Structure 1
């Protein structure tokens, strides 16, 4: 029966698609009389310039009047209209919640995106003191009027938002009064400043609607709201700033994220973030006709259209308004291919932001933190953590490596992970932000006043660890400068001590490593073979794989490879229990080296090894005891940092503080910063961590420090990196 119904539905859809492809009509949805006028002129112009065959293919354009963009979505779903242009936030809603499809994107002079700006009249206002203010917004769920500003306020914890309440309610309580067109059904105060006509008849009520009949709708309307003094700050996009006359520009200022103000011309540095512009949507079985129609209309009436003197697609001034049917700033429409996923159209960062703001409605994910784990051992520890804290839901998400964790967090498949300094650099380039840093000092200092609880620690100094090169004391002829042809052990791909820093030193007199080069290539050229988990070729030949999980590949970039990490590099140096696979030099971090040496015996890996049996290689070709790491090292490494998407910083921070507080009160139940009971070291966090220190007020570059940041930037300028390529995908410049 179910199969029969499914076949029947498919047949109906096929017939409807064939009918619509024949082009019986194309109906544009308009949200005001002015837009209706422009649409009617477009219809006349199409008939006048297109050959009869083309007119038959697209049929005659008709204009369907709606009272808001939401009404347009409903009409298109119900097959009472076919096509409409929407802001990116509305495009997402139309696609994800109502099953429509995006067929085109507006492209502006600087690409497919806009910058969100906060505009004020000259005053003492700043972004940190907006509570209780009157605000004007271009539209509910709009990129510049809602999503980016609220995402910023939430990321800095300026806007309180309890998990159990709708975001609109939190916004209504935060601002004293607002006009946010499209928010009429959510919180009354969000419409208090709006000026549209009120009516008990739905089709005649324009108060707080996304329609040009609401005077404060759109970016132009939000500026009008500010200009008339109804609001104190307007959240609009940078394109709207062009409409402010030259003679009055001095009356306005932009609010910057650092609390300062700037001139309108400085929007590129003084903004609340960047997000996608508008797009065109239709029903999924109408997309081919819609694309053909848009391509033909643009070819005739676009910026370089053949019939531009008859009608201008991206001009609205002749109709006494702006941004009718399309933004007037549109340079062209990018027609989207059939297989365009909404994340490709709007961008991963923006889609993740919308999910974080509850655009898909509330779900279990709204209250959980999904922690990224990279191995069987980390998964076990994470699950034990989840059982121990009880009060807050923690979900453990599996990834294949730290780089894969960054990708999963950006894709909204995980929420947070503690990353080493090199991966913090990558994550920062990927748009993730810091929440807390691991603290390796002797004593954690609670925040002054203890207002945020006993688990809230702060520090002006974040202790580093050191990268060192370790050899067996018996290997007397091994030193820096003569490492060519030897076997090497490296923590893992992109690790600061195992991959990044050793390549900045001269490993062999036969190979000049001072020039710009990929560290992996340096190691392939210098060493005979080695184990660099996550690599390939000769740098995997010393690796031995894992025994914990069936199917674990040798050289995997996680703890399932027994030569992974600091502990793994040490195992590699002494060799496997059979004595076969070993290296001549190990590149690792100094902080837990002696503990790891002691655990070689207790874990049953290798008996009889003592700290005395190992020495450090110094960059000046000396050798030194392990205790002299402060004078014999390859560089300092900033602490690990927990990174997340910007909108989640407050949630992840609160979760970590509750965890820290709960686990400190019950130390016998579970130790967050101990890993030996799970058979490895440094699982989820470094075992040397004393506490987690608040850092969400700092950017990742500040935490890394200029020296380390510059080193990483120089190395990655010479290195092909799949994860950085993934992070560099930019929907603002693709089309």
Structure 2
């Protein structure tokens, strides 16, 4: 067995790594000692041929992780393990590459938690308090908590100031190792040795020589009474014994507090764990070295009695070389993108926090448009406002908009209730809801339609079934289908209708669709306005037939709110002449047919309002942009109306035309706004229906490696 293990070690070393010595970067004396022991252990357990060919290790002492990154870039060191936030910085700003990822007992991710001494503090009252953080740009100690505070607008970050200044203004004093060069108050609580000699200065550095560095350091900062709150990850809570744990509480996002054991429901978000980085031209050697070290000294390594890769207690510290809670390392392939390693949500958060420096994206709002008509209206909007710049970005459908927002290619879009459900499942959050009430009464001090507006009521629109008065081919709406059929809406439609136009579908559900003429090559049955039978107006066009009177449907399922206006526009738009509201009837559940005016007693159900949704980090920025837009545009109603689409040849472009104003909802979750009944109905359907977008969003960096 020993021979087989040695053969495997030699086998994983290609001719390219002969004679290579891996230089591991360390940031403290304790880490240097552990690295030196690892070097000795490799020599002990491997034969001389394997050691000289591959497994020689030297330890390069530095004073911080930032110094490590610089030394690796300059080819004065080769490898270091970093927190996920630092991994991103090393890859995107300094050209390094990730070669391995730490996996913990419950996956490759951590939960950020805010720990306080048992007191009256809550997450809404942190301003002016003293804070302890694991490190600047660290996942649980910086990015996730700041992302949460910004998304709730507890932390105000002005466009013209760096984020570090906003954080400095928010907390009265902090220890954020690694932030020394940006804002002095962010280091006021740190305890590391100060020196004018760079190599001997450990104050506020990302080094174990700073007593308040890392997760244990942040907890030490709290335990010693220097800080009021410590931002760490859930793994760090294991170091607090059960009796001592009664003295501490977690701060939950809803303003409550919880015991340390309740971190799964009481946390500030989830993000990736640590990873190993190196230079791109060294990645093959680094991977093979890590494979050999893990096979020998990992949790299941054959020589773990000689040395333990993921244990640091015997060196008088914790998390040396690797996180002590690491179960195993996953070696990453060559072609993996950093967003696959860290996750789309996390990468978008880091960009939002300025981890790549300032860019044009930081000063604009990118709105998602799904058709030529929407693009034209959006560009008119951009020209009409005098607030932050607006950029109009094209997508193929609402689902594609969700993908683009998640991938940080656009920022916001108004989604119908079903797509809002999907977006919520994909980690997006609501900013405002479209308000369809009679009038918008603004908060005190505002003017009609322009100020911050909230309401306990979310006026709905109603779904109706419309038929031509002259048609008698449809007599009833049957809802009796077996459970298996009901689970898949496409099967329901296929059983009831022999052919349909259901934009975004396939097969017989697209046979009535006619495509578009606006753009050459427009796909028939496309899930956007370029399919002329898309949306409320499109369903009505389908009912009356194309301009020649052919290609029509027998029943149209649409929303009631602008039905009569759309009937009038059939003639004015040149689609079909002579149609009046009198020519149509509503089909009721019980088989009755009634005039359009009786929709309140003859409808298929209420539909929650459209929601503008975005990534959590952008909630405040998108909300401010929309409020400024409303205020600016209200002063010039004849030039551009945000809730009017007829000048562009369609209806409900960007927003529903029935919208009176936009209602503040970022303090509510999407499930609350959609309502429990609607939410459960949609969830039932999606639980047994394949969805590409939900599959895309379900990619989880916590479990895929």
CA distance in 1, matches of 2:486, 2:232: 43
Distance 1:33 1:452, change over 3 A: farther
Post-superposition offset of 1:540: 1.4
Asked if residue 371 in structure 1 is aligned to residue 367 in structure 2, the reply is yes
Contact map agreement 1:23 1:59 (CA 8 A) in 2 = no
Contact map agreement 1:106 1:112 (CA 8 A) in 2 = yes
Q: 2:108 aligns with which of 100, 107, 112?
A: 112
CA distance in 1, matches of 2:301, 2:105: 17
Name the counterpart of 1:714.
Answer: 684
Q: 1:444 aligns with which of 436, 440, 445?
A: 440
Contact map agreement 2:485 2:492 (CA 8 A) in 1 = no
Asked if residue 30 in structure 1 is aligned to residue 18 in structure 2, the reply is no
Contact map agreement 1:21 1:286 (CA 8 A) in 2 = no
Contact map agreement 2:173 2:187 (CA 8 A) in 1 = yes
SS at match of 2:325: coil
SS at match of 1:468: strand
Post-superposition offset of 1:480: 2.4
Asked if residue 157 in structure 1 is aligned to residue 127 in structure 2, the reply is no
SS at match of 1:597: helix
The range that moved more, 412-421 or 586-595, is 586-595
Q: 1:616 aligns with which of 579, 586, 609?
A: 586
Post-superposition offset of 1:449: 4.6
CA distance in 2, matches of 1:260, 1:126: 6
Uncovered stretches (5+) of structure 1, i.e. residues with no partner: 1-16, 483-504
Post-superposition offset of 1:677: 0.3
CA distance in 1, matches of 2:50, 2:93: 34
Name the counterpart of 1:189.
Answer: 185
Q: 1:557 aligns with which of 509, 522, 527?
A: 527
SS at match of 2:154: coil
Distance 1:651 1:75, change over 3 A: same
Contact map agreement 2:218 2:232 (CA 8 A) in 1 = yes
Post-superposition offset of 1:521: 2.5
**Superposed CA offset, 1:661-700 (max 9, x none):** 0001111110000000000000000000000010000000
5 Å-filtered alignment, 1:695-710, equals 695-710=665-680
Post-superposition offset of 1:514: 7.6
Name the counterpart of 2:697.
Answer: 727
CA distance in 2, matches of 1:618, 1:23: 82
Post-superposition offset of 1:21: 2.9
Name the counterpart of 1:661.
Answer: 631
CA distance in 2, matches of 1:538, 1:53: 68
Name the counterpart of 1:214.
Answer: 210
Distance 1:365 1:19, change over 3 A: farther
Contact map agreement 1:425 1:700 (CA 8 A) in 2 = yes
| Backbone CA RMSD of aligned residues | 1.5
Asked if residue 92 in structure 1 is aligned to residue 88 in structure 2, the reply is yes
SS at match of 1:354: helix
Post-superposition offset of 1:468: 1.0
Name the counterpart of 2:379.
Answer: 383
CA distance in 2, matches of 1:213, 1:724: 45
Aligned residues: 693
Name the counterpart of 1:572.
Answer: 542
CA distance in 2, matches of 1:85, 1:638: 48
Post-superposition offset of 1:448: 3.3
Asked if residue 519 in structure 1 is aligned to residue 489 in structure 2, the reply is yes
Post-superposition offset of 1:620: 2.0
SS at match of 1:528: coil
CA distance in 2, matches of 1:164, 1:372: 26
Contact map agreement 2:441 2:449 (CA 8 A) in 1 = no
CA distance in 1, matches of 2:505, 2:334: 36
Question: Structure 2 length normalisation: TM-score?
Answer: 0.96
Asked if residue 123 in structure 1 is aligned to residue 119 in structure 2, the reply is yes
Q: 1:54 aligns with which of 33, 47, 50?
A: 50
CA distance in 1, matches of 2:558, 2:55: 70
Asked if residue 421 in structure 1 is aligned to residue 424 in structure 2, the reply is no
Asked if residue 245 in structure 1 is aligned to residue 241 in structure 2, the reply is yes
Q: 1:345 aligns with which of 341, 346, 354?
A: 341
Name the counterpart of 1:202.
Answer: 198
Post-superposition offset of 1:48: 1.0
Distance 1:23 1:111, change over 3 A: farther
SS at match of 1:531: coil
CA distance in 1, matches of 2:325, 2:484: 49
CA distance in 2, matches of 1:391, 1:42: 58
Post-superposition offset of 1:515: 5.1
Name the counterpart of 1:599.
Answer: 569
5 Å-filtered alignment, 1:432-511, equals 432-450=428-446, 454-481=450-477, 505-506=479-480
Name the counterpart of 2:604.
Answer: 634
5 Å-filtered alignment, 1:140-151, equals 140-151=136-147
Contact map agreement 1:20 1:286 (CA 8 A) in 2 = no
The range that moved more, 460-469 or 45-54, is 45-54
Q: 1:171 aligns with which of 163, 167, 170?
A: 167
Post-superposition offset of 1:58: 1.7
SS at match of 1:85: strand
Name the counterpart of 1:284.
Answer: 280
Uncovered stretches (5+) of structure 2, i.e. residues with no partner: 1-12
SS at match of 1:529: coil
The range that moved more, 649-658 or 471-480, is 471-480
SS at match of 2:487: coil
Name the counterpart of 2:131.
Answer: 135
Question: Structure 1 length normalisation: TM-score?
Answer: 0.93
Name the counterpart of 1:537.
Answer: 507
CA distance in 2, matches of 1:291, 1:61: 14
